[in-house]
Amino acid sequence: MTNTHPTAIVYGPRGCGKTTHAHEIAHRLRIPRSNIIDEANITRARHIKPGFLHLCITEPFGIRLPQGCVVMPYADLGFPDLRPGAMEAAAVYRGGQTGAPTVTMESPTETRARLNPNRIDHAIGATRDRISRAVAGAQTFTPLPPPSPEDVARMRLTNEIERERRRQIEAEGYAHADDDALAKGELASMAAAYAAMAANDERASMHCWPWDDPAPKSLASQPRRALIIAAALILAEIERLDRLTAQPKGEGA
């Protein structure tokens, strides 16, 4: 039987709240509660089970992900970080209705006490006990609504562009310093060339290609792949411009 549930990987540091909110995360991603793998150790593609939610401490890297697999940090889901002191007194987790129980992570006074070696065990234990009691009593908690199919598709597309950007940096060796040297818009021109390939316009692609060397093999038969590469190159150019803007005046001139 063909699996009809999404495959997802959510990563975050130990104690941040992945396990506590596992059911809500699964509900939001439309994955059954029975299909949750906690403390997943993903070092090979075969460790990823289709249709399951995998909760990891670190982001899987250097492996080929299954098509359509959603990879996202726990922090992007909107749930609170439950690590003691992670969000200080400003981090308040409130249920969806008026009067719902509130979890206040840690006050500045508690932070100082927690950092005192003589009181660290007591302070951390007290904070965790308070969080556990409040979460256990939060019966009016309203789970976040599940994402729409369009939201899931957008997350997958964003992840795919990010993976291509990392591939350009790590597999092809184009570091930020190399990009910074391309001050005449070469990255944008390369993106335009790949976009023209997607449109099967070989003449426009050759015109936009900024180098004397011939353009890479046409991807006219793979327009989507050409556009993913173009999007990653546009991202690289935006990052280059941001770094240039962030430089103090007088540098890089």
Q: Residue 89: CB partners within 8 Å, gap ≥ 6?
A: 104, 105, 106, 107, 108
Please enumerate, as own/partner, the contacts of 44-51 that have beta carbons within 8 Å and a separation of 24 or more.
48/7, 48/9, 49/7, 50/3, 50/5, 50/7, 51/3, 51/4, 51/5, 51/6, 51/7
List the chain domain ranges: 8-79, 88-136, 152-246
Beta carbons of 168 and 236 less than 8 angstroms apart = yes
In terms of Cα–Cα distance, which of 49, 10, 13 is closest to 28? Answer: 10
Distance between CA atoms of residues 56 and 51, nearest Å: 16
At residue 55, the 3 state secondary structure works out as strand
The answer to whether the beta carbons of residues 25 and 53 sit under 8 Å apart is yes
Closest to 231 in 3D by CA, of 195, 181, 178: 195
Helix %, strand %, coil % of the chain (to 5) = 45, 10, 45
Confidence of residue 30 (pLDDT cuts 50, 70, 90): confident
8 A C-beta contact, residue 63 and residue 44: yes
With 60 as the cut, is the pLDDT of residue 150 above it? yes
Residue 159 identity = N
Judged on CB neighbours under 10 Å (0-12, 13-18, 19+), 16 is: buried
70-85 burial code (b ≥16 CB/10 A, e <16): bbbebeebebbbbbbb
Q: How far apart are CA 207 and CA 199, in angstroms?
A: 14
Among 142-146, 180-184, 206-210, 236-240, the range scoring the smallest mean pLDDT is 142-146
Choose between 93 and 161: higher pLDDT. 161
pLDDT at position 217 is 75
Q: pLDDT higher for 134 or 207?
A: 207
How far is CA 31 from its chain centroid?
19
- Reported pTM: 0.45
Q: What is the pLDDT of residues 159-206, one digit of tens each?
A: 899 899 889 888 888 888 888 898 899 999 999 999 999 998 988 988
What pLDDT sits at residue 196?
A: 92
If DSSP codes are grouped into helix, strand and coil, which group holds residue 70? strand
Enter the tokens of residue 107. 């006050």
* The pLDDT of residue 92: 40
Rounded-to-integer distance, Cα 253 and Cα 245, Å: 11
Predicted confidence at residue 138, as pLDDT, reads 47
